Structure 1
Amino acid sequence: MILNIRVDHKTADISKMEKSSQKLDVLFNTIIERYPVNEHLNIKTCNRAELYLVLEECDIENLITNDFVIESDDNAMTHLLRLSSGLESMIIGEDQIFGQIKDAKKRSIKEGCSGPVLQTIFTKAVHVGQVVRKKTKINEGSLSIGSAAVELAESVHGDLRCKKVLIIGAGKMGTLVAKALVEKKLKAIVVANRTHDKAVVLAKELGGSAIHFDKLDEALMDADVVISATGAPHPILTYEKLKDVVPDCNISKMVMVDIANPRDIEEDVSKLGVKLFNIDDLRGIANRSRKMRETEACDAEKIVADEMVLLKRSLKHLEVEPIISDIRITAENIRLNETQKAFKMLGDMNGNEKIVDDLTKVVVERLFFNVIKNLKEAAENDEKNILEAAETIFSKKS
């Protein structure tokens, strides 16, 4: 069974998402205690937290909760392919989720928690993401979370070229904000990050300046726009901090956009007169983007449907891979042994050994070609009797 458990922007606002993301970790530990989990992988971004599991069995009814969407097998895999294509994103067609899926796959392999099933599924997801972006224009001129954050700031201030913009966080989200600001040709940009070197690199790209995190208070004093996107586990900008740091004459003019999850900026900050936005406020921009890409989305859906057929076929082939592996290993061992015997009997072959070796490889390959092909087709068609017979005939006996 393939299981997907998730919470995302479709089912939760940022407040619920913060809480549910933590609950997902608890649920994962519960599942591990109750059921044998063969493989697992998680994806966490600013507006989603997802868990993918491969189990022998699982009573989904016992897991159902209002906090999460839970889907299995075909539905779970279709969701992942749509996710990789940008169809499940808040801002349809955005490319960031594609990279996040690739990173999640690499991380899971490195940590040894994904096996042949998840690797097959996620390899297909990466492939589908590439095909959709190549064959459609779903991501052409698409917004990112970062550029949407800048658009929100512009909705209040208008042209930002005469404004001082402070970016807090130089990670992936901060970089997306930076790219959006570069397009605006802004000059007064300050980057703050706990790792100063990262801030320096990002500021250099922007033509702005970098500050150490302990100088954040000074940068806040006269900032017009603050866009925060750190990975901090708790708020870094609180009501008390801003009240003490930012002069009253500036604070009512300040725009803050918080695109972190969990949030970087306390909600109470808005009581000071700050115009505070978070991920939930991006939905209006996202809806406009979605309408612009409806045709491309339809084309992407067709690609996902076609690729799902191929993915299911690949997973069926995995079921007979142990039998096929036994066939190949046994055949190769026999081929090598008999070829070596032939070499000894033939004596000096004047360098023609490769001809004989290649000949025996071709003979074995052609001899078992139809056998392997038929086994794969039997798996695709769920012909259990054929698979059981093949296992009896070909599997190695202990």
Structure 2
Amino acid sequence: MAIVNSKITLDELQELARFWSEDRDAISVYFKAPAPSELAHREEPIFAKDQIKQKLGSLKGMSHADREDVQRILETVSELKGNNGRAKVIFACWSKGIWREYDAPGDFGCRIDVGPNFSLAPLIAQQQGRRRYCIALADRNRARLLLLEAREITEHSQVIDEDDKEKIRTTGTGKSVHLERKKDEQVRRHFTFVAEHLLHFYEHKDYDCLIVGCRDDMWPAIEAELHPDLKRVLAGHFHCDPGIASCEEIQEKAQALVDVRDRVDEQKLMERTMGGFASNALGAVGINEVIDALEKGEVRTLLWTSKPDGEQHSASLCEHCGHLEGKELNACTLCGGKMRLYQNAEEALLRHALGRSIEVREMHYSKLPMPDRIAAWLRFRAEISTPQALAS
């Protein structure tokens, strides 16, 4: 029985990144099962099988090993029944005894690649770009905490404050006014209590960004209690009734805010990179520029846009010293070692960057310039000082 993992460690990624098959029989499968339904259960295996068979049909003949892998992949996909909303990711090479199967959060669509190497770019980009959103729901009496990550939502706290008490609302005088003021102070302390817990969880790195759900009239009072650090990572707030809101409703409203934030963040990164490139500052665009920056240790964030079939740009990577070339090359110009040709340039660049504290981002909303659609935002430029680059 295969061991299915949901998390992939750096060591596992590096092991998969080093893999190379001269027989070009390494198979990479990304498949997101549709939401469970009677119709989906009938259609998803058929759709996946057709996609897999069509892709594998491009092989020049199929060895016994190829057929064994294909059959096992088809059986695995056929058994999926929604997969709890997660994508199935498989890396397989029968001739080398490799089978790695993961249930990964995120939506990769249906993708099958066959060649000398495993296709790791979608997985690494998704893992690195994944943010954890704390969703705090609050009203005058209660609070609920949920975590949204890669479109998966889980509830972690039903109630973190005292039980409901009778609400006192009056505009009278004397004792009634005193009771109203006392109640308002209790509400303020309740929101302070919630905000302090949110700050504690953030400082302990339990989440990356914050979203608040509440009734509209409660938002000013909640916002007033948030620490500046929480306001800095606040992705927005939405209207709901914290006491009765379902997880599905919460996820839909929170995900809409996440999508907007992702689009804005990506556009800012795009503008920063392209502007830096235009001013010869902290931006590099094009395969050769990016390779040069990578080998000088200048890259902060490696960017690429997914390309349709037929538009791939290849790159070579030395299996010995890690030297990169934006073209096909048999021998390394630095050490004389053997160069491996990757049909998708980002796969070669990712392997060079893996483990070097370089962020990687696949651009979903912005298109990088052709022909290779690869760029990088830099930490510095070796030939100029960082203050000069930032000033320009």
TM-score under structure 2 length normalisation: 0.24
Higher strand share: 2
Higher CA-based Rg:
1
TM-score under structure 1 length normalisation: 0.24
Higher helix share: 1
